[in-house]
Structure 1
Amino acid sequence: MPHWPRSMRALRHRNFRLYFIGHAISTLGTWIQQVALSWLIYRLTDSVALLGLTTFAALIPQLLVGPFAGAWIDRHDKRRLLIMVETALALQALVLAGLTASEQIGPTLIVAMAALLGVLNAVDTPLRQSLLSQFVDDRADLPNALALNALLFTLSRFIGPPLAGLLLALVSEAFCFTLNTASYLALVIGLACVRLPSSPRASGSFANVFSEGLRYALDNKQVKQLMLSVMVVNLTASSYVVLLPVFARDIFAGDASTLGWLWGAAGLGSLASSMVLANNHSTAPLARLVLVSAASSASAMLLFAASTQLWLSLSAMAVLGFGITLCNVGTNILLQSDAPEALRGRVVALYTSTRFGFDAIGGLLAGLLAAQLGAPAVLLGAGAVLIAYVAWATRRPSVRHE
């Protein structure tokens, strides 16, 4: 195998390299579409409540479908299933581009397309995550593969939003959606070139397979604590996503480019967090770091909500992106490092459903409350709730003595 730096050691595996390249292109397209869709909604409707509703529709399937998707994933050939799901995602983006270009898009269709995207992502996300262990030939490289996967995601998050802002200033939302269609095909090509040995699949009825994964999570004390932290962080801190267009236009008197820079600042923080995790040689300190990252996220939310200076808000966004990513990715690394291979799809599905499902609930609440109270007040309240949770969690013996 070729020599790679320790921080990128998972790339020495051919299958992971093929996946990594395809996923890099796909993820960049996804971020471009997400920013373009957010801008499209606010441009057409001026409704922060609709921003929250659309985010909710895109993410709530993770909570409702995700846990059951894990049992389904463990019963099938994961690579073939992922190719099918990625193809369906490409078609969804293509339809969205067509509706937007023909000016047939409206609030109802936007929410419907977001819901369809959410259902597909409820299968796609745990499916991709659970496949990573098969893309590396050495299980010791799995934490690095997970960190590099997150690094790729956050690098795209750093590049994609400013690029989307530039594209929106030059072309249109429909063009951004078309780019995302093409980006999914890059991952399909990469997956088609991957060669994997056959792996054992879960047997028995769907109900038994599902309940087996649920028992594993409920009987494991650390898994329950990690899931609770992910739940609270994404319910509160991740709600900033819905509110960013409001801050960009109404607080900072900006445009799509301002929104792109705010997204990009959060992406820069996420990128730094992913680099820290990629260079980490041990999973031992991660449980404590999850709570530290939650505390830093809360502090950044309070600063961003109170700031009227763009440079200070960009700094707060960077800290917030760092904290959220460290919490989410650190939890994922801990869960997958300990999970039995036969249960991997179900464990990852429970994690992703918690992460994105409560992200959906938080986004919906933030949008509805911001329409009544204003975006700064909502972000201040969410930050206060997160600080209260961290104060409670640090007093628990299971956390304090880990």
Structure 2
Amino acid sequence: MVASADRRPPASEDVVTPSYLPLVLVNLATLFSAIGNGIAIVVLPWLVLERTGRATDAAIVAGAAAIPLLVSSLFSGTFVDKFGRRRTSMISDALSAMSVAAIPIIAATAGLTIPVIAALAALGAVFDPAGMAARESMLPAATRTAKWKLDRTNSVYEANFNVAYLIGPGIGGVLIATIGAVNTLWVTAAGFVFSIVVVAFIRLPGAGVPEHEHRPKSIWHGTLDGLRFVWNNKLLRTLALIDMAVVALYMPVESVVFPVYFTELDQPAQLGSVLMALAIGGIIGSLAYAPLAPIMSRRLIMIFAVAVLGIAMLAMALLPPLWVILVLAGLQGLVYGPVGPIANYAMQTHSPEHMRGRVVGVMTSTAYAAGPLGYLAVGPLLDQLGIASTFVALSIPIILIAAVCASLPVLRELDRPRHSTDVS
């Protein structure tokens, strides 16, 4: 039975005393779950490269994990809006934990092969988007109970997410070097379990099972409603397309290019340190967004972020010393840190409460849509052209995207006041 606090309408925001506990719990659950995923980013490609040493195989496993994300993230928001945010988060993390734990179990019994690793990576990826959409959909309600501004909440949330990807890859790199890649996956499963425990204590308006009249008629119809809503909103549609392009070009760097480079050097700890530098930069950039938002244009921040990301990636084509790579990685995280809070703000202020999960799910799925193509293209590029040329091939289009962003008038909508969801 759902607690009555979960069923109260949004009017319950008019509390006198701010309550920070729900916001803390949402961020803590996100931290634990994302740490698990952060470890997996390092472990899964390393597991493959240990066995075959081929970049194409690592890219196939990364692509196998990315392809289900497209479909599952598309439908995930409808599950959130139909079955409730807290319940969906807990079930999603439970299934993710089981799929990850299956890898060391099979390794100890039947034995691992590349197809098995790819299948289990794909299975685990199916469940993640629903949990992410569920927790992100709780942010506006948690913002109201804390009496914060949405920009401040999104800044902290995205910084917290980057903290997880600072801790996760760092733990992953160290544990691979000490206990091996297979055993490290037990820590990944533990992260999901801790998230479940935290979410069980969250009490927020709208976190329980939605009222009947607000639930989607079916998973299919609800997803179509979400797609239509995002497509008909010019700002959300534009942000989704930009995100698709940037993710397709950038994510293979973290998941394939860097693992291949540091595998050739036999330096797993250095791989972890580069991903940690990205996360540290992202933490600082995300936290800096909250004080910057009231005094700077969100549009200009976003254009600057995409441009510098592409330029820093182009500089990595020189394959400089490790300390230079760390500086460039930190710069990428720093400038791109505000992009997540800006996208969250757009979704929160341009979508109704009862469709929040679907909007988040659809926007997330568009980013994953181009991911498999990026992964599958990067593997052959690396095998035939090498690491330096691959960096060039990925960075130039990102710089061009920044130029396109500067010419889009719709991005000015990011700086027009909207008060329907924000708090004072």
The TM-score normalised by the length of structure 2 is 0.85
The residue number in structure 2 matching 1:244 is 258
Deviations 1:176-235 (CA, angstroms, capped at 9, x unpaired): 111122221111111111223454432434444333322221222211221122111111
Instruction: Give the Cα separation in 2 of the matches to 1:190 and 1:320.
Output: 31
Q: 1:16 to 1:398 in 2, by over 3 A?
A: closer
| Contact 1:96 1:177 (8 Å CA) reproduced | yes
> Secondary structure of 2:138's match?
helix
Alignment of 1:334-373 (within 5 A): 334-373=346-385
| Contact 1:83 1:191 (8 Å CA) reproduced | yes
The yes-or-no answer on 1:179 pairing with 2:187 is: yes
Instruction: Give the Cα separation in 2 of the matches to 1:56 and 1:156.
Output: 22
CA RMSD of aligned residues (A): 2.4
More displaced stretch, 371-380 vs 276-285: 276-285
The residue number in structure 2 matching 1:157 is 165
The residue number in structure 2 matching 1:326 is 338
Q: 1:304 to 1:27 in 2, by over 3 A?
A: same
The residue number in structure 1 matching 2:278 is 266
The yes-or-no answer on 1:38 pairing with 2:7 is: no
| Contact 1:283 1:334 (8 Å CA) reproduced | no
Match of 1:194 among 194, 202, 206: 202
The residue number in structure 2 matching 1:3 is none
Match of 1:169 among 171, 177, 180: 177
| Contact 1:299 1:383 (8 Å CA) reproduced | yes
The residue number in structure 2 matching 1:233 is 246
CA deviation after TM superposition for structure 1 residue 395, in Å: 2.4
CA deviation after TM superposition for structure 1 residue 360, in Å: 3.3
- Aligned residue type for 2:364: T
> Secondary structure of 1:51's match?
helix
Instruction: Give the Cα separation in 2 of the matches to 1:162 and 1:277.
Output: 25
Q: 1:101 to 1:133 in 2, by over 3 A?
A: farther
CA deviation after TM superposition for structure 1 residue 394, in Å: 1.6
More displaced stretch, 77-86 vs 20-29: 20-29
Q: 1:129 to 1:274 in 2, by over 3 A?
A: same
Instruction: Give the Cα separation in 2 of the matches to 1:308 and 1:340.
Output: 48
Instruction: Give the Cα separation in 2 of the matches to 1:22 and 1:398.
Output: 34
The residue number in structure 2 matching 1:297 is 309
Match of 2:156 among 143, 148, 158: 148
CA deviation after TM superposition for structure 1 residue 259, in Å: 1.1
- Aligned residue type for 2:227: L
The residue number in structure 2 matching 1:311 is 323
CA deviation after TM superposition for structure 1 residue 170, in Å: 1.5
The yes-or-no answer on 1:63 pairing with 2:70 is: yes
Q: How many residues of Structure 1 are paired with residues of Structure 2 in the alignment?
A: 390
The residue number in structure 2 matching 1:105 is 112
Match of 1:204 among 217, 221, 224: 217
| Contact 1:394 1:400 (8 Å CA) reproduced | no
The residue number in structure 2 matching 1:213 is 226
- Aligned residue type for 1:165: G
Identity score, percent = 24
- Aligned residue type for 2:159: L
| Contact 1:233 1:324 (8 Å CA) reproduced | no
Q: 1:46 to 1:149 in 2, by over 3 A?
A: same
| Contact 2:151 2:341 (8 Å CA) reproduced | no
- Aligned residue type for 2:359: V
| Contact 1:92 1:117 (8 Å CA) reproduced | yes
Instruction: Give the Cα separation in 1 of the matches to 2:197 and 2:34.
Output: 14
The TM-score normalised by the length of structure 1 is 0.89
- What 5-or-longer segments of structure 1 have no aligned partner? 1-10
Q: 1:283 to 1:37 in 2, by over 3 A?
A: farther
Instruction: Give the Cα separation in 2 of the matches to 1:89 and 1:280.
Output: 36
> Secondary structure of 1:317's match?
helix
The residue number in structure 1 matching 2:401 is 389
CA deviation after TM superposition for structure 1 residue 126, in Å: 1.8
More displaced stretch, 94-103 vs 218-227: 94-103
- Aligned residue type for 1:335: M
Match of 2:133 among 126, 132, 140: 126
| Contact 1:286 1:334 (8 Å CA) reproduced | no
Instruction: Give the Cα separation in 2 of the matches to 1:106 and 1:329.
Output: 39
The residue number in structure 2 matching 1:54 is 61
| Contact 2:30 2:132 (8 Å CA) reproduced | no
